Amino acid sequence: MVYKHVLLKLSGEALMGSRQYGIDPLRLSEYANDIKEALAEEIQIAIVIGGGNIFRGVAAASNGMDRVQGDHMGMLATVINGLALQSALENEGVPTRLQSAIKINEVAEPFIRRKAIRHLDKGRVVIFGGGTGNPYFTTDSAAVLRAIEIEADVILKGTRVDGIYTADPEKDASASKYNSITYDDVLKKGLKVMDTTAFTLSQENELPIIVFDMNKKGNLIKILSGEQIGTTVS
């Protein structure tokens, strides 16, 4: 396997599956199976999950809600998603720990870096919920931050599209896909990979990002074994 320590970033929307809102148990089960397969190859996997399927602080703020309050609600949404994914993984027999950046001791462990690394060393999947624990920071920023802290080799950003395109492939049929691209080119071309804060943090720490379609079965294990899937930013 090319990558041994990875951080998998999943968007909240990805958990909706074919639904308009909430969590699709079928999609959760598919993800759990893919993660179990990777774990069998002795890969260390940490996961950061978004909350957009339940609540988005930014969207609420644009409708007049206090942004800080909205972001706190978004953080709680990521914890809900983390619990759902933990449950799906444990149903597959995968030992999982949920760590939260905001203290909810009855539900999740607090985020402690050394403890997270210890869990990973013992072959457990660690899910990081609660974003960074601060308003105004996205779960993409949380993913990059946690990846750097646990010394991951790469961030795997699982989305609905199979990589980074010259334009939005869902809107523009002539859009072509990049197999690999540099950080500078992403910024120059104004391509949407992550928000600027997260992306810059990744660039400064030379942490590669692979954007791929998580909904296609087997993609995760193919990436880990070095196959060209999605787009690599480095």
- Give the chain's domains with CATH numbers: 5-228 (3.40.1160.10)
Name the nearest CA neighbour of 77 among 159, 11, 9, 160. 11
Q: pLDDT digit string (tens) for 104-123?
A: 999 999 999 999 999 999 99
φ/ψ of 226, rounded to 5, equals: 100, 5
Mean residue pLDDT of the chain comes to 93
Q: What is the pLDDT of residue 192?
A: 84
Report d(CA 32, CA 21) in Å as an integer.
Answer: 20
Q: pLDDT digit string (tens) for 189-226?
A: 988 889 899 999 999 999 999 999 999 999 999 999 99
φ/ψ of 32, rounded to 5, equals: -60, -40
Q: What is the pLDDT of residue 108?
A: 97
User: 119 vs 2, 98, 112, 135, 223, CA distance in Å?
Assistant: 21, 10, 11, 27, 23
Q: What six digits make up the tokens of 169?
A: 């492939």
Q: pLDDT digit string (tens) for 149-199?
A: 999 999 999 988 889 998 887 788 888 999 999 999 999 998 888 989 999
Q: What is the pLDDT of residue 230?
A: 93
pTM: 0.94
Report d(CA 217, CA 198) in Å as an integer.
Answer: 27
